[in-house]
Amino acid sequence: MAKQYSKMEIIRELREHHIMPTHQRMEIFKVLFAKPQHLSADQVLEKVNKHDAHVSKATVYNTLGVFSRRGLVREVIVDPTKIFYDPTTIPHHHIYNMDTGTLTDLDVAELDMGTLPAPPAGTRIEGIDVIVRVRSTTLSQSDTNNHGQAAVVAE
């Protein structure tokens, strides 16, 4: 269930992450934390501007970068051209449906990682991000393009 944040709660959350609360950042926060979801920057832009707030594409991208660097959201890079922003920052993994482009949370306990190798000298493991990519068994390989997306055929 989604938590509805008051204006003061949003300001507090942003300040706790050392982020200056601006009107645009608060609008972006509201969209990201409206419900458990994984949104791309373009989806955030569309949802923010749907509510009469005018936020530029550059502001959305810059704000998402700040939110990610400050630990407010996680960047989930499913391929070099597709990045999702995840407001759930506790350790978990993801399932990426290559046919639909949707990302679903996968609890850490559902994946047996076995034994991890020792990190190189002078380093420590910060975290492990696993993305399990799935595809429909009903689509044939010829029905998809090289990026795993369903191919569109004009007849």
Domain residue ranges of the chain, discontinuous segments joined by +: 1-89, 91-155
Per-residue pLDDT in tens (0 to 9) along the chain, 155 residues: 467 899 999 999 999 999 999 999 999 999 999 998 999 999 999 999 997 678 999 999 999 999 999 999 999 999 888 999 999 988 899 999 999 999 999 998 888 888 888 999 999 988 888 999 999 988 655 555 555 544 433 33
**Whose structure tokens read 């569109």?**
152
Q: Which of helix, strand or coil describes residue 86?
A: strand
Q: Per DSSP, what are the bridge partners of residue 76?
A: 84
CATH architecture of the domain with residue range 1-89: Orthogonal Bundle (1.10)
C-beta atoms surrounding 134 within 10 Å: 14
Instruction: Count CA within 13 A, CB hemisphere, residue 38.
Output: 20
Q: How many Å apart are CA 25 and CA 18, to the nearest integer?
A: 12
